[in-house]
Structure 1
Amino acid sequence: MTNTFSILVVDDEPDNFDVIETLLSAQKYQLHYAANGKSAIASLETFQPDLILLDVMMPEMDGIEVCKLIKANPQWQIVPIIMVTALSSKTDLANCLNAGADDFISKPINSVEMRARVHSMLRIKQQYDNIQTLSHIQSNTINILESALNELRGTLASRMSHELNTPLNGIMGAISLLKEDIENMDITEIREMLGWVDESAKRLENLTKKFLTYLELESSPSRQQSFKTAHTKFSSTEVEAMLKSYVHKLRRGNDNLIFDLEDSEIALSDRYLATILYELVDNAVKFSASGTIIKINSRVVDKMFNLSVHDLGRGLTKEQVERIGAFVQFERKTYEQQGIGLGLRIVKKIVELAGGLFSISSIYQQQTTVNISLPIRSQLELD
């Protein structure tokens, strides 16, 4: 045992304490002395004993009564008590055990027996303390998981319902107006309302696709093998045109997009590549002001395809970066943003399944860069 254990010796004869102190001097024990039962009970909080050596024959309050009082207190029930007694009859020993004693030593004390019994009781106490520590850790972990689960339930209930109802209400509202008054509308009004329906339907479609992609990735751990056989061409000209078109649909000009791309053959399907590009650029647009620069870079370094998307937007704190996960959004109420917080989680999962690396570097209220690394096709063929 490497710990320094606290042992309380309760005996009305100070000489007996000196004997015990001598017998245990070679051990790393911190010994404390109480001359009677009342003093012993009063000193428990101060000494916090890991073990109590309790003499049976004491005036006023004998050891058996002291043992009963200590064991009746839930705070001290787990502290082992070794009764030190000159009594030897089976009835006397039974009384000690019935009082709650964990062990006993007969007088005159044998040094080997004393050290063995003390060591044994302290080992049991240490094992109990370890179990209690693990129990507390487990309890805290369960509480944290329950809290996170409750938060997730609340998020799903509030955000999912909001994100689903908003486009549905747009569709239903426009259709209701058309049904009620289409005869009195001119073609321009009808086209405008159909535009609302189309926009809402696309928003609902994108939300559904994103959620299904998330479920697909999270529920298929064996999918990693299929990633190893996938490959697609990363064409700088095609990617640039695709992202410019996408940003234009988000109603943000292309003049703030800066591309520095290198072609490559990467170990990823074109579908998942497009998902990564759209999600990263969508985040950059969503969380940065119109007119600020968004940089999209790609390079092949050490047989890995490295892609980064950089924006001069709201940024994230270190704590927020560490908390990124499914259905997690930060400062949603402040900025009234859309979405359900799945984009970065989907990107990270795709990259992990493809055998790549995902990281975020950010300065709060200044900038964010999302970096991913993916194996290139030639590397997989070598494997």
Structure 2
Amino acid sequence: MTNTFSVLVVDDEPDNFDVIETLLSAQNYQLHYAASGKNAIASLETFQPDLILLDVMMPEMNGIEVCKRIKANPEWQIVPIIMVTALSSKLDLANCLNAGADDFISKPINSVEMRARVHSMLRIKQQYDSIQTLSHIQSNTINILESTLNELRGTLASKMSHELNTPLNGIMGTISLLKEDIENMDIDEIREMLGWVDESAQRLENLTKKFLLYLELESSPIRQQSFKTAHTKFSSAAVKSTLQSFVRQLKRGDDRLIFDLEESEIALSERDLLTILHELVDNAVKFSTSGTIVKIHSQVMGNMFNLSVHDLGRGMTEEQVDRIGAFVQFERKTYEQQGVGLGLRIVKKIVELAEGIFSISSIYQQQTTVNISLPIPPAVRT
């Protein structure tokens, strides 16, 4: 890292700041000091920290409370916080992570560990900043995005950062707990914690793939050109098997998938067909109650292949249907739903590039049906 990074050290003991300053003196960091949590919060705008080293045991306002207040402010949510603590129990460490801390260092401080953890957190912060820069470049250069993008520019970076930060915190926090106390854990406890890491890693991978696919569809001429020659078979058996397996992976195996499928050749690649199926069923399952029916129907009508996915979920208003687009999630605060609202936008874009028709019919709080019409390749038309 060649940039100069701003590091805010929060500790009620000035001698501790001197120790940290000595340990990090050889690094390209600009260190700032706050003697209390209140002073730290008040100085954020002045110091613009890229990283905060926060002592847990402080009078008046302890480090956990300071961490909560900083992470509650959207402007500073993505700034990594490393808790510096003499506490060692798993409950104490869990309280730090629950407060929003990204990592922790135990006292007495080990110089090698301190430098490694600070370097790691700043590298992650740098990646967040790169994502924010990428989002601004995209919003300023891709003029083919619909007019709603102007409204959404300010939210792309923050949503992506939040969605990336959550699984990263899960991975790093769990690994830290394992490193600190693995000798005292039994094998079942270790397996459970590794399961948490795996779940967070898969969520991060899926989000990254979805975001890259969105950028590819919106801005790649080569990708858009590929739709002119795409061709695959919509197989009833393959679709049933794929979607049943997919729903089990979503841990919603109790949902009733009802299939009414007619087979046909369609002017779409297998990759894009699977993307459409996964995104539509994922949305149907995500926005409906566990155990309800999701119906997948297909039918050939003339030179078009019609596909629909119907669910008995929360539905959408007419206004919400009209606003379907990237980085839009409706009633997110009410339902605490993960994601950045890319799914239906990706499906809509694929259908448009395939010269098909995309539509949604919905009754609010009752049901939703997504309808897609795709061309049948001329060579197989009857």
The TM tier, using the shorter chain, reads 0.5 to 0.7
In the other structure, the counterpart of 2:188 is: 188
Task: Tell me the distance in 2 between the aligned counterparts of 1:152 and 1:378.
Answer: 39
RMSD: 2.1
Once the 2 structures are TM-superposed, how far is the Cα of residue 255 of structure 1 from its aligned partner?
4.8
Q: For 1:315 and 1:148, locate their aligned partners in 2 and report how far apart those are by CA, in whole Å.
A: 21
- Counterparts of 1:237 and 1:360, CA distance in 2: 26
Q: In the alignment, what sits opposite 2:153?
A: 153
Q: TM-score, normalised by structure 2?
A: 0.59
| Bigger mean CA deviation after superposition, 306-315 or 213-222 | 213-222
1:132-180 superposed Cα distances (whole Å, 9 cap, x missing partner):
xxxxxxxxxxxxx9x9556423322332122111111111011111111
Matches within 5 A, 1:201-240: 201-221=201-221, 223-240=223-240
Q: Is the 8 A contact 1:244 1:254 kept in 2?
A: no
Task: Call closer, same or farther: CA 1:381–1:219 in 2, change over 3 Å.
Answer: farther
Residues 231 and 267, structure 2, Cα contact 8 Å, conserved in 1: yes
Cα deviation code 1:279-298 (max 9, x no counterpart)? 00000011111121110011
User: CA–CA distance in 2 between the matches of 1:148 and 1:357?
Assistant: 20
State how far apart, in whole Å, the 2-side matches of 1:332 and 1:373 are.
Answer: 29
Query: How many residues are matched?
Result: 238
Larger radius of gyration: 1
State the secondary structure of the residue aligned to 2:217. Answer: helix
Amino acid across the alignment from 1:156: L
Partner in structure 2 of residue 272 of structure 1: 272
Is 1:365 paired with 2:340?
Answer: no
CA distance in 1, matches of 2:241, 2:380: 28
1:312-344 per-residue CA deviation (whole Å, 9 max, x = no partner) reads: 111111111111111111111011111101111
Displacement, 1:378? 3.8
Equivalence map 1:50-65=2 (5 Å): none
Q: Structure 1 residue 329 and structure 2 residue 329: aligned?
A: yes
Whole-Å Cα distance in 2 between the matches of residues 350 and 380 of structure 1? 21
> Structure 2 CA distance, aligned partners of 1:295 and 1:381?
27
SS in 2 for 1:360: strand
Q: Shift of the alpha carbon at 1:202?
A: 0.6
AA aligned to 2:300 is V
Q: CA deviation at 1:244?
A: 0.8
Letter in 2 for 1:165: N
Secondary structure of the structure 1 residue equivalent to 2:161 = helix
Q: Which letter does structure 2 place at the counterpart of 1:341?
A: G
* Deviation beyond 2 Å, 4+ runs, structure 1: 147-151, 220-225, 377-382
- Name 1:315's counterpart in structure 2: 315
Cα distance in 2 between the residues matched to 1:361 and 1:228: 28
Return the letter of the residue paired with 1:234.
F
The corresponding residue for 1:179 is: 179
Q: 1:290-309 residue pairs with structure 2 within 5 A?
A: 290-309=290-309
Distance in 2, matches of 1:210 and 1:380, equals 32
| Corresponding residue number in structure 1 for 2:43 | none
TM-superposed CA distance for 1:381, in Å, is 8.2
Which residue identity does 2:366 align to in structure 1? Q
Is residue 348–residue 358 contact of structure 2 (8 Å, CA) maintained in 1?
yes
Gaps of 5+ in 1: 1-144
CA-CA distance at 1:249 after TM superposition: 1.3
Secondary structure of the residue that 1:370 maps to in structure 2?
A: strand
1:343-382 alignment runs, 5 A limit:
343-378=343-378
Distance 1:235 1:358 in 2: 21
Q: Give the equivalent residue in structure 1 for 2:244.
A: 244
Alignment partners' CA distance in 2, 1:349 and 1:148: 15
**5 Å matches for 1:12-91?**
none
Task: State the TM-score, normalized to the length of structure 1.
Answer: 0.59
d(CA) in 1 for partners of 2:194, 2:215? 31
8 Å CA contact 1:256, 1:294 repeated in 2: yes
What is the SS of the residue equivalent to 1:337? coil
Q: How far apart in 1 are the matches of 2:265 and 2:285?
A: 27
Judge which range, 213-222 or 191-200, deviates more.
Answer: 213-222
Asked if the contact 2:293/2:312 (under 8 Å) is kept, the reply is: yes
Deviations 1:259-279, CA, capped at 9 Å, x for gaps? 111122211111111110000
SS in 2 for 1:321: helix
Is the Cα contact below 8 Å between 2:307 and 2:373 reproduced in 1? yes
Q: Distance in 1 between matches of 2:149 and 2:271?
A: 31
- CA gap of 1:200–1:219, structure 2 versus 1, over 3 A, is same
Aligned AA (1:193): M
State percent identity of aligned pairs: 82
State the alpha-carbon separation in 2 of the partners of residues 327 and 166 from structure 1: 17
